[in-house]
């Protein structure tokens, strides 16, 4: 399985739509896509994970690294539309205490 990432900018909002599986094989693709984002102060990055059907610890590591980059630049990250399984993964690792996780706002319409 692959991972597909699409982005759309709307002022200080960057909407991302991620689909597929995020594992040892596909995490580098996701990491590379996220590293290409030019993060500026005040930017809100909202990533829709509604069509991510599997993620392992490698995927979590990608999101942690991206979150650290976001915080360093005084920007914001919100992960939205996670399945119950992904929400639980973020909860049991304690990452839901650091990262904003919730229902989609702007990304409810597919990119």
Per-domain residue ranges for the chain? 3-108
pLDDT at 103: 81
Q: Which CATH architecture has domain 3-108?
A: 2-Layer Sandwich (3.30)
pLDDT exceeds 50 at position 107: no
User: Mean pLDDT in the chain?
Assistant: 92
Q: Name the strands in the sheet holding 100-102, side by side, starting at the edge strand that comes first in the sequence.
A: 3-10, 13-22, 44-55, 76-80, 100-102
Q: For a pLDDT cut of 90, what percent of the chain falls above it?
A: 89
**pLDDT tens digit sequence for 20-49:** 999 999 999 999 999 999 999 999 999 999
Helix (H) or strand (E) holding 19: strand 13-22
Closest CA to 54 of 104, 80, 19, 12: 19
What burial class does residue 37 get, using C-beta atoms within 10 Å of its C-beta: 0-12 exposed, 13-18 middle, 19+ buried? Answer: middle
């Amino acid at each position: 399985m692959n991972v597909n990432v699409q982005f759309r900018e709307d002022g200080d909002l960057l909407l991302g739509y991620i689909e597929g599986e995020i594992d040892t094989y596909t995490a580098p693709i996701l990491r590379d896509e996220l590293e290409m984002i030019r993060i500026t102060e005040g930017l809100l990055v909202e990533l829709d994970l509604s069509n991510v059907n599997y993620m392992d610890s490698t995927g979590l590591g990608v999101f942690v690294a991206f979150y650290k980059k976001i915080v360093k630049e005084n920007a914001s990250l919100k992960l939205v539309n996670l399945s119950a399984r992904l929400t639980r993964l973020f909860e049991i690792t304690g990452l839901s205490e650091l990262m904003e996780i919730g229902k989609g706002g702007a990304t409810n319409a597919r990119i």
